[in-house]
Amino acid sequence: MREPVELDPVASVVQRLAVLLEGGVAPARSWRYLAEQPPQLTGRMLVSVADAAGEGRPVCDAIVDAIGDGRLGEAPEWRGLAAAWQVATDAGAPLAPTLHAFAVSLRSLAQVQRELQSALAGPRATARLVLGLPLVGLLFGVALGFDTITVLVTTAPGLGCLSAGLALMAAARFWSARLVASAAPRLVTPGLGLDLVAIAVSGGISIPRALAIVEEARTRCGLADDGSRAVLAEVLELSRRAGVPAAGLLRSEADEARRMARSAGDRRAAALTVTLMVPLGVCVLPAFLLLGVAPLLISVVSSTIGVL
């Protein structure tokens, strides 16, 4: 199962960068200050970017290159930072306010992630619990004084029950894992595409130029499509017709995308508590009968026949 992405450490880095830049520290020196006191997870990244920035290389490329060693996985949060930095640089948007706004977005996404993980904790615990029922039944038979384990491994009926029970347990484990995975968040960074365009237009450039810069940055940083293109077109059209700045509308829609992601995750978690009952009834309970009850009955019948 895919591990949740840790967004809070990156948000802290972005916030500190914004404060340093706001205080007049040069970008390359800001990265170096952060690299000298590296957080646990982001230390290698900060050192790599600080070295590259000190050599005059683009920060965007340095972040992407550091991701390429595979230690951080896909790292969509770092790719988002790289894209935001590149968009602000190309569009002429001030870096400090841009990073402040991006840090707020990352913290909002981190909150969404925590809420979804909390909502999924109950269903995940249920899945692990029910998978242990057949083993409990088997041990219960042993505790009652019946040699159920010997029956399972030394008799033909027992071997049949063991094979079928283990197959059902494997199927239940796979099925439950798929159900839990399907309820996990679909996007790690919902609304990021809208945030990037908001950064670009805040630099005072035209909409077509802003869109081109964002598209180039997304490609350069390897950012996956977040499905925001349709909403983006609607917001830009509304901004054009109403004659209002697009940046505020775009950030508002990005916040809405995160709220919708939170609501969708809550609904999936609630539905998961019900759908997990399907592998319980189809696989786990039959496995419980095969591994816990059937050997007990076979042992009783064998003992009775032996006495007679």
Q: Which residue has the higher pLDDT, 8 or 21?
A: 21
Q: Which residue has the higher pLDDT, 254 or 43?
A: 254
Give the separation between CA 151 and CA 209, rounded to whole angstroms.
75
Report how far apart, in Å, the C-alpha atoms of 39 and of each of 9, 12, 27, 34, 54 are.
8, 10, 19, 9, 20
pTM for this predicted structure: 0.71
Render pLDDT for 32-78 as a digit per residue (tens, 0 to 9). 888 887 555 567 788 888 888 888 888 888 888 888 755 555 678 88
Report how far apart, in Å, the C-alpha atoms of 68 and of each of 45, 56, 168, 203, 236 are.
11, 20, 40, 30, 34
What pLDDT, on the 0 to 100 scale, is given for residue 208?
92
Tell me the average pLDDT across 191-199: 88
Q: Which fold has domain 7-108?
A: Receptor-associated Protein (1.20.81)
Residue 299 has pLDDT above 90, yes or no: no
Residue 4 has pLDDT above 60, yes or no: no
Render pLDDT for 108-142 as a digit per residue (tens, 0 to 9). 777 777 776 776 777 677 777 777 777 887 787 77
Mean of the per-residue pLDDT values of the chain: 82
Band (197; pLDDT cuts 50, 70, 90): very high
What pLDDT, on the 0 to 100 scale, is given for residue 108?
76
Q: What share of the chain has pLDDT > 90, as a percent?
A: 11
What pLDDT, on the 0 to 100 scale, is given for residue 71?
52
For residue 115, the surrounding DSSP H or E stretch is helix 95-130
Residue 167 has pLDDT above 90, yes or no: yes
Would you state the structure tokens that stand for residue 98, as one six-digit string? 């841009």
Tell me the average pLDDT across 213-219: 91
Contact 68, 90 (CB under 8 A): no
Looking from the CA of 58 toward its CB, the CA atoms found within 13 Å total: 17
Query: Cβ neighbours of residue 252 under 8 Å, at least 6 residues apart?
Result: none
* End-to-end Cα separation, the chain, in angstroms: 53
> In the chain, helix, strand, coil percent, each to 5?
80, 0, 20
Distance of CA 281 to the CA centre of its chain: 29
